[in-house]
Chain A
Amino acid sequence: MSKRDPLLVIGTPAAKVDGLTKSTGQEIFADDIALPQMLYGKMLGATVPHARIRSIDVSRAEALPGVKAIITGIEMPIKYGILPVSEDEYPLEIDRVRFVGDPVAAVAAIDEATAEEAVRLIEVDYEELPGAFDIEEGLEPVDAEHRIHDYGLRDNVHKQVHLHFGDVDDAMESATSVHEGVYFYSGTNHLAMEEHSAVAQYGADGRLTIWSSTQTPHYVHKAMAKVLSMPASRIRIVATPNGGGFGGKSDPFPHEFCAARLSIVSGRPVKITLTREEVFYMHRGRHPVLMWLRSGHDASGAITALDFKSYVDGGSYGSYGVASTYYTGALQTVTYKVPNYRFRGVRVFTNKPACGPKRGHGTPQPRFALEIHLDKIAEKLGLDPVAMRRSMLVDEYTMTANHMRITSCGLDECLEKIATASDFANLRGNLPYGKGIGVAVGSYMSGAGLPIYWNKMPHTSVDLKVDRGGGVCAKCMEIDIGQGSNSVLAMTVAEVLGLEPGDIQLVVSDTDTTPIDLGSYSSRVTFMMGNAAKEAAEKIREMLLAAAAEKLEVQATDLVLRHHRVEHRETGEGISFADTVPLAEAMFGQLSSTGSYTPPRLSGPYKGSGVGPSPAYSYSAAAVLVDVDPETGVVTPERVWMAHDVGRAVNPVLVEGQVEGGVYMALGEILMEEQVFRKGLHKIPSMLDYKSPTFLEMPPVETFIVESIDGEGPFGAKEVGQGPLLPMPPAVANAIYDAVGVRIDELPITPEKVVAALTDLEQGGPGRVGPEEVPDIDWGEALDVDPVWYDQAAEDWIPATRRRESD
């Protein structure tokens, strides 16, 4: 295949390779696993939000017939945490609990009912401590012994960031106009349909196997070896297909360690499946973030400086929180040109379930603030919101002030597509009272440029093995969480080898048998694994071409693999794929290959620059038409237009699926979802009472796929798993303003907030609901970083390549 050969598989709307297996119920999820002699495990969660554990009495539980093993924290006294900088969790807490639900003991019994009864019989004596339950409380000074953790910056402050690129104050001073705003984005859970589940088997051979519904088998592997003090070589993690993840299965979790430990203690396999309520407590969902921003603009409306503060409510543990905090500041610069930028962020510990990554990880919150803010400015300056945005987009293949390298960018086309399709220019401001239209944009990474722990190894590898019968087996630790990564792997290999996706046998997500992939997070799989798979397949292709060329007595460069054949590009003369394989094996030996991918070194010359850089960014733009009932405040999204620059649509149906899924998930965050706590207790930890939309609330979505063909993605592909969620919340908020003239600057936008804002408007107020101010804290000294890549004199952006050279 050369550049001129058309793609035959990539770009086709093929069915998912595991679609039928899943839809017919044949797929084996973690909870479907039943091993001989298997026990059922159950964890006991704390009933108080913050306390010292005085004692734990398990004697009554032990006496219950059917109970086979009971463990408490002292049996696993080694801390872990997904980020090396915040290893602050025990599988079972030993002397301190930090939120209601924090696990303190676990039982394995002959069945679930017995295990459930047994944990109820465990008596824990707590000495309750004062707690912190929101951002303001998290910022207050506390006595040393009442701190939630004994590490972090001070009191309950976990992390603080203060970065400054260029000269914001100077630029503000010379700006034609300066605008300020305060916003709040509430925390939400992932609501994956499948609850977390893990089965552990400690075999007679002294090897431990864990089947788990996890997005990150490699990180679980590392943590497991550490906590159990076992060599990683004796531990095998098999990630079972996830019934949805969305970031909620990206940490190592207590139930995984407990199942393992209980299996070691009892000598029998142990399964722990969380209840929905426990999933709400394990959480790791969206961080609630309070935000303040100020922007300076020139006469044309273009941004000359941006000053951004975020206050991040972390919950009880570190999780991904340090990265999440940086993410609330990192990607403000990748959509619009921002020559001067200051970011201040703080994350506090509170006595609530720990927050972590959820679809968009730390970026939907600032995007919400920024896109509403710009909408308000457009109105003040008398600019069309679409035209204003289009006039200040980043240029392709440039650097941002905070040293993010932009490659392809199809955002202008995205905006053009949705504006035209929705007839935005004619509708905005002209719809009858109660109907409104709004737009917003967003951008997300195609994989984090850096791994979670510092190393120089590949982020992903794919092994291919070709059988003499012509079968191709692709192995990779990637894990399909419903996003279709199995299909991407099969399609990529099939494309290069002239086969069909269904021809490729997949062996995935197993630390024993598959080569590394860091996991299904940060929208990295298609981009990174795709590159690795392509490389591996190209190596096999070369061998096949050489063998066929010899047999057919033609130049290998004239041959092409297509339709299960190796054939002459022009004449079509050739031999079948299956017949070529033995020829190649005779020539080269066993046909195996490995492809790997390591992102280019992208971090900038400052501490904290590791969060945000990605080999490529996806872009999206959304327009939303809403109906607002002014009497009740009920908001109904009626139509959505979403254009997404995915680089290249490996499979357009899967791209549309991700776009629609992102829209759907966003609607829940916009209109319904909220993690409310009463006395530290989650108010509504159930899928009936914690509201998220059903099928019936889903408006029609018109998706436009924009293909900017990225220079670094496989076949030009970028991400689509997370990006399309981002523009939705601000687009809906902007549409509500267009409909009834009120500004709801915080999520969720519930009917009572709309009513309150309308009432305020009627009474002559600004017609706004949202936070008024942010806490004043000592941000410390700024880390001043030169945005050297913006050449002030030339008023130009220095291309990335020039910077690379001087690196």
Chain B
Amino acid sequence: MLRLPPFEFRPARSAEEAVEIWGENEGRAMYLAGGTDLIPNMKRRQFEPPVLVGIRRLEDGRNVETEDDGSLVIGAGATLRQLADEPGIVADFAGLAQAAGQVANLQIQRVGTIGGNLCVDTRCNYYNQSYEWRRSVGFCMKKDGDICLVAPGSSKCWAISSSDSAPALIALGARVELRGKDGVRQIELGQLYQDDGIEYLTRRPDELLTRVLVPAPRPGQRSAYTKIRRRGSFDFPILGVGASLRIEDGVIRDARVVLGAVHTHPLIVQKAADLLEGETPSLELLEAAAEAAYRKATPLDNADLVYYWRKRVTRVHVRRTLARLCGLEAEAETAN
């Protein structure tokens, strides 16, 4: 089997200590949470950090708490399965539970953390390959090379943002807390990501993602996450649709539609939100919102199935997800 490159393992007991150990090894260290993403990547020599700072056993690192105001505070070390099973999350933040419960498979959900899932490496089938394979193809700029093999003219990497929880949490308006050498800051989750398959996070390398903060649900708020993949288990998304909205006096309010796995970062479809705001749900309306999402999606030929199909079904699944949230499922079915 593929072997890991040698590394030193430095477990930390607190967030402060983790950042400190990282500081001692500046430029050589990476954080290791569940390791379900990083370890296989290291076997393929996509990363070769000499030092791994262990963050699985941080004090209070995996707590999941509901505050008095109904908002949710999730320790970055909480496992995906923990979130998928937590009754409070299933009831009030369904999109998150659905996303976490569809990552990879049960085994990985029990080990993989939400922090790791939000920071999960971008994917590309020219890149998620062994060293030997990548050497045969001639390497690409994301690791060991200098061109993009998917879009040879491109100066940027188009590797795909593949987190399931990110679109779901952005749709829920989540923020994240980052602790680095220079202190603690909070940002909108959407701002954690940027349009670059290599530097896909705005997180500074020293910064540890410590907590995820999800605002309390507004009355009538519903959320959902739809994941498209070939198989009911194992697979990364080839499309993720995170959506939330509420219906007040028969009209849609605060809608958010976020796409995963069709770009280098989660795509917030503002146009869809604008179209839906204040309108009475109808199939035509949802179709228009879905059309906006469809236009934004830019899948490339670097993941499973053909890109034009992935783009095509963006429309279908955005419409279906919104229909579920608006209680129009039955109509959507017969409309076919």
Contact among A113, A684, A693 with B3 in the assembled complex (CB-CB below 8 Å): A113
Point out the residues of chain A lying under 8 angstroms from B234, CB to CB. 688, 694
**A633: CB under 8 A from chain B?**
yes
Q: How far is the CA of A632 from the CA of B230 in the complex (A)?
A: 12
Point out the residues of chain A lying under 8 angstroms from B130, CB to CB. 275, 277
Contact bitstring A253-286, B, C-beta under 8 A = 1, else 0: 0000000000000000000010101000000000
**B155: CB under 8 A from chain A?**
no
A691 engages B133 (CB within 8 Å): no
Interface residues of B in 1-23 (CB under 8 A from A): 1-3, 6
A679 engages B312 (CB within 8 Å): no
A277 engages B132 (CB within 8 Å): yes
Point out the residues of chain B lying under 8 angstroms from A47, CB to CB. 132, 135-136
Which DSSP category, helix, strand, loop or mixed, fits chain A's interface? Answer: loop
B312 engages A755 (CB within 8 Å): yes
A689 engages B308 (CB within 8 Å): no
A631 engages B336 (CB within 8 Å): yes
Q: Taking the nearest CB of chain A, how far is it from the CB of B313, in angstroms?
A: 5
**A696: CB under 8 A from chain B?**
yes
**A672: CB under 8 A from chain B?**
yes
**A585: CB under 8 A from chain B?**
no
A275 engages B1 (CB within 8 Å): yes
B2 engages A691 (CB within 8 Å): no
Q: How far is the CA of A411 from the CA of B294 in the complex (A)?
A: 50
Residue ID in chain A nearest B236 by CB atoms: A688
Contact among A100, A112, A113, A691 with B231 in the assembled complex (CB-CB below 8 Å): A691
Q: Taking the nearest CB of chain B, how far is it from the CB of A281, in angstroms?
A: 10
B136 engages A696 (CB within 8 Å): no
Q: How far is the CA of A672 from the CA of B135 in the complex (A)?
A: 27
Point out the residues of chain A lying under 8 angstroms from B2, CB to CB. 116, 275
Q: Taking the nearest CB of chain B, how far is it from the CB of A284, in angstroms?
A: 20
A684 engages B125 (CB within 8 Å): yes
B1 engages A112 (CB within 8 Å): yes
Q: Taking the nearest CB of chain A, how far is it from the CB of B58, in angstroms?
A: 29
Point out the residues of chain A lying under 8 angstroms from B233, CB to CB. 694-696
**A369: CB under 8 A from chain B?**
no
Q: Taking the nearest CB of chain A, how far is it from the CB of B230, in angstroms?
A: 5
Q: How far is the CA of A95 from the CA of B133 in the complex (A)?
A: 22
Q: How far is the CA of A553 from the CA of B288 in the complex (A)?
A: 95
**B306: CB under 8 A from chain A?**
yes
Q: How far is the CA of A694 from the CA of B231 in the complex (A)?
A: 7
A694 engages B125 (CB within 8 Å): no
Point out the residues of chain B lying under 8 angstroms from A48, CB to CB. 136
**A630: CB under 8 A from chain B?**
yes
Point out the residues of chain B lying under 8 angstroms from A275, CB to CB. 1-2, 130
Contact bitstring B82-107, A, C-beta under 8 A = 1, else 0: 00000000000000000000000000
Residue ID in chain A nearest B319 by CB atoms: A631
A689 engages B336 (CB within 8 Å): no
Contact bitstring B276-315, A, C-beta under 8 A = 1, else 0: 0000000000000000000000000000111011001100
Q: How far is the CA of A691 from the CA of B1 in the complex (A)?
A: 20
A45 engages B132 (CB within 8 Å): yes
Q: Taking the nearest CB of chain B, how far is it from the CB of A718, in angstroms?
A: 34
Point out the residues of chain B lying under 8 angstroms from A684, CB to CB. 125
Residue ID in chain B nearest A276 by CB atoms: B1
B125 engages A632 (CB within 8 Å): no
Residue ID in chain A nearest B128 by CB atoms: A689
A685 engages B316 (CB within 8 Å): no
A631 engages B306 (CB within 8 Å): no
Q: How far is the CA of A152 from the CA of B130 in the complex (A)?
A: 35
Q: How far is the CA of A723 from the CA of B135 in the complex (A)?
A: 41
**B137: CB under 8 A from chain A?**
yes
Contact among B231, B309, B312, B313 with A697 in the assembled complex (CB-CB below 8 Å): B231
Residue ID in chain B nearest A114 by CB atoms: B3
A632 engages B137 (CB within 8 Å): no
B316 engages A631 (CB within 8 Å): yes
**B250: CB under 8 A from chain A?**
no
Interface size class of B (residues with CB under 8 A): 20 to 34
Q: How far is the CA of A629 from the CA of B308 in the complex (A)?
A: 17
Q: How far is the CA of A688 from the CA of B129 in the complex (A)?
A: 11
**B232: CB under 8 A from chain A?**
yes
**B235: CB under 8 A from chain A?**
yes
Q: How far is the CA of A279 from the CA of B231 in the complex (A)?
A: 22
Q: Taking the nearest CB of chain B, how far is it from the CB of A113, in angstroms?
A: 4
**A681: CB under 8 A from chain B?**
yes
A691 engages B137 (CB within 8 Å): no
Contact among A630, A672, A681 with B136 in the assembled complex (CB-CB below 8 Å): A681
Q: How far is the CA of A166 from the CA of B306 in the complex (A)?
A: 46
Q: Taking the nearest CB of chain A, how far is it from the CB of B319, in angstroms?
A: 9
B305 engages A750 (CB within 8 Å): yes
B1 engages A696 (CB within 8 Å): no
Contact bitstring B54-88, A, C-beta under 8 A = 1, else 0: 00000000000000000000000000000000000
A116 engages B231 (CB within 8 Å): no
Q: How far is the CA of A403 from the CA of B38 in the complex (A)?
A: 59
Q: How far is the CA of A315 from the CA of B131 in the complex (A)?
A: 24
Contact bitstring B165-198, A, C-beta under 8 A = 1, else 0: 0000000000000000000000000000000000
Point out the residues of chain B lying under 8 angstroms from A695, CB to CB. 233
Residue ID in chain B nearest A684 by CB atoms: B125
Interface residues of B in 116-156 (CB under 8 A from A): 125, 128-133, 135-137
Contact among B3, B125, B230, B306 with A672 in the assembled complex (CB-CB below 8 Å): B230
Q: How far is the CA of A633 from the CA of B317 in the complex (A)?
A: 13
- With A689-B125, A689-B128 known to touch, is A633 a contact of B309 (CB < 8 Å)? yes
Q: How far is the CA of A678 from the CA of B131 in the complex (A)?
A: 17
**A66: CB under 8 A from chain B?**
no
Q: Taking the nearest CB of chain A, how far is it from the CB of B74, in angstroms?
A: 27
Contact among B132, B137, B304 with A689 in the assembled complex (CB-CB below 8 Å): B304
- With A47-B132, A273-B1 known to touch, is A751 a contact of B231 (CB < 8 Å)? no
Q: How far is the CA of A275 from the CA of B230 in the complex (A)?
A: 24
A632 engages B132 (CB within 8 Å): no
Q: How far is the CA of A521 from the CA of B138 in the complex (A)?
A: 39
Q: How far is the CA of A691 from the CA of B230 in the complex (A)?
A: 8
Residue ID in chain A nearest B310 by CB atoms: A752
A100 engages B136 (CB within 8 Å): yes
Q: How far is the CA of A686 from the CA of B125 in the complex (A)?
A: 11
Contact bitstring A48-73, B, C-beta under 8 A = 1, else 0: 10000000000000000000000000
B1 engages A752 (CB within 8 Å): no
Can you list 17 A-B pairs with a CB-CB distance of less than 8 A? Answer: A45-B132, A47-B132, A100-B136, A116-B3, A273-B1, A275-B2, A275-B130, A631-B316, A631-B336, A632-B317, A681-B137, A686-B129, A688-B234, A691-B304, A695-B233, A696-B233, A752-B309
Q: What 10 A-B pairs have minimum CB-CB distances, sorted nearest first? A: A696-B232, A752-B309, A47-B136, A113-B3, A694-B233, A691-B230, A631-B316, A632-B313, A752-B306, A694-B231
Given contacts A273-B1, A672-B231, A751-B313, 10 further A-B contacts (CB under 8 A): A45-B132, A112-B3, A113-B3, A120-B131, A195-B1, A277-B130, A631-B313, A631-B316, A679-B137, A686-B128
- A→B interface (CB under 8 Å): 45, 47-48, 100, 112-113, 116, 120, 195, 273, 275, 277, 630-633, 672, 678-679, 681, 683-686, 688-689, 691, 693-697, 750-752, 755
